[in-house]
């Protein structure tokens, strides 16, 4: 689930994931994307605007793959998903899709605040997932309380609607910003494995591409450090603290280990020592990745 106010780039991010699922790119925000056989895009509202937005990122050379791999439903569904719990799975089967994108959730459910309907929608979602379908949902936030600091990290209760909407989601991403902002912050509010971010994201509205702010992008930081980084050093950079808290250090460790698994970095184990002695492991950008950008 990608949550945020109108205009902060939820659809832009979703389109990049879709194109990566279709093999037209291999990553989004420097993270790998698994391939998909066929994507069904439920463009339930403003579908002409959605089409124009996607056109920013594709060219004539992509036409055949889009025809083979992307099906688009334009306009309202024949019934709301809380009233017809098999509809989502049936649509996936009818279009031979293993991925469904719902843009957006407000147009797929009768009401989002009623707990009974929230449970009913989650039932529809889980029936599709049981059939092997991956689901991405675009959704809106509650209005921020008056006087709340803009930089304050959002929480799950900022997601609009019944708690059962988020309870059934595997992962919830929250995009903080104002409509039309070039720079937004991506928070990971709910995670099935390990938290990513917060990520400082830069939108290129003309090309429909989003990138990480290089000042805080761990890959970019590694590229600029031929001698590499320790976990503590990355935590200091990302947190802005000379003595980072344990949570910041563990987050930096997970980030660097993820880059190693993705082949973007290498890890040299430190040397053992006595109490407080020894050297910490150092992480360096992989040689092939440095060569690709040098």
**Cα–Cα nearest to 3, from 174, 162, 232:** 174
pLDDT per position as a tens digit, 44-78 = 999 999 999 999 999 999 999 999 999 999 999 99
Q: Which helix (H) or strand (E) element contains residue 163?
A: helix 163-167
Where, residue-wise, is CATH 3.40.50.300 in the chain? 2-212
Residue range(s) occupied by CATH 1.10.10 in the chain: 218-293
Residue 223 neighbours by CB under 8 Å, 6+ apart = 285, 289, 290, 293
pLDDT of residue 276: 43
Model confidence band, residue 40 (pLDDT cutoffs 50, 70, 90):
very high
Class of domain 218-293: mainly alpha
Residue 254 has pLDDT above 70, yes or no: yes
Rounded Cα distance, 24 and 44, in Å: 24
pLDDT of residue 21: 96
Averaged pLDDT for residues 91-114: 95
Q: What is the pLDDT of residue 73?
A: 97
In this prediction, residue 176 carries a pLDDT of 93
Instruction: Determine the average pLDDT of the residues in 180-195.
Output: 88
Q: Which residues pair with 120 in a beta bridge?
A: none
Which has the higher per-residue pLDDT, 30 or 97?
97
Q: How large is the average pLDDT for residues 262-266? A: 88
Question: So what's the pLDDT on residue 90?
Answer: 97
Residue of 15, 69, 37, 68 lying closest to 210 (CA atoms): 15
Is the pLDDT reported for residue 274 higher than 50? no
pLDDT greater at residue 216 or residue 185:
185
The pLDDT assigned to 44 comes to 95
Q: State pLDDT tens for residues 200-224.
A: 899 998 899 999 887 777 888 888 8
Q: With bands split at pLDDT 50, 70 and 90, how would you rate the model's confidence at 273?
A: very low
Q: Is the pLDDT of residue 149 over 70?
A: no
**Is the CATH number of domain 2-212 1.10.10.10?**
no
Q: 171 or 146, which is more confident?
A: 171
What average pLDDT does the chain have? 88
Residue scoring higher pLDDT (236 or 134): 134
Q: pLDDT tens across 121-144, in order?
A: 999 999 999 999 999 999 999 876
DSSP secondary structure letters along 59-95: -GGGHHHHHHHEEEEES--SS-TTT-TTHHHHHHHHT
**Confidence (pTM):** 0.77
Cis peptide before 104 (omega within 30 of 0): yes
When pLDDT is cut at 50, 70 and 90, the band that residue 245 belongs to is confident
- The residue ranking higher by pLDDT, 276 or 119, is 119
Percent of the chain with pLDDT over 90: 66
**Percent helix, strand and coil across the chain, each to the nearest 5:** 35, 20, 45
Split at pLDDT 50, 70, 90, the class of 293 is: very low
pLDDT at 224 (0 to 100)? 86
């Amino acid at each position: 689930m990608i949550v945020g106010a109108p205009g902060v780039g939820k659809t832009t991010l979703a389109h990049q994931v879709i194109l990566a699922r279709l093999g037209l790119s291999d990553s989004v925000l420097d993270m790998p994307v698994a391939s998909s056989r066929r994507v069904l895009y439920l463009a339930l509202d403003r579908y002409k605007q959605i089409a124009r937005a996607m056109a920013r990122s594709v060219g004539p050379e992509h036409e055949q793959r889009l025809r083979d791999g992307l099906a688009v439903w334009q306009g309202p569904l024949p019934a709301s998903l809380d009233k017809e719990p098999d509809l989502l799975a049936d649509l996936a089967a009818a279009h031979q899709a293993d991925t469904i994108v719902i843009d957006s959730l407000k147009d797929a459910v009768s009401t989002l605040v009623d707990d009974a309907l929230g449970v009913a929608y989650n039932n529809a979602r889980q029936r599709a997932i049981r059939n092997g379908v991956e689901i991405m949902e675009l959704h809106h936030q509650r209005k921020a309380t008056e006087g709340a600091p803009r930089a304050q990290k959002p929480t799950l209760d900022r997601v609009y609607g019944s708690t059962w909407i988020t309870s059934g989601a595997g992962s919830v991403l929250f995009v903080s910003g104002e409509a039309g902002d070039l720079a937004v912050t991506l928070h990971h509010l709910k995670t099935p494995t390990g938290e990513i971010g917060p990520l400082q994201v830069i939108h290129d509205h003309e090309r429909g591409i989003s990138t990480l702010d290089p000042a805080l992008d761990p890959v970019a930081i590694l590229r600029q450090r031929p001698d590499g980084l320790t976990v503590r050093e990355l935590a200091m950079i990302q947190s802005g603290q000379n003595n980072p808290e344990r949570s910041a250090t563990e987050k930096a460790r997970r980030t660097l280990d993820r880059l190693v698994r993705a082949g973007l970095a290498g890890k040299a184990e430190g040397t053992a020592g006595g109490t407080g002695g020894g050297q910490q492991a150092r992480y360096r950008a992989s040689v092939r990745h440095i060569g690709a950008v040098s």
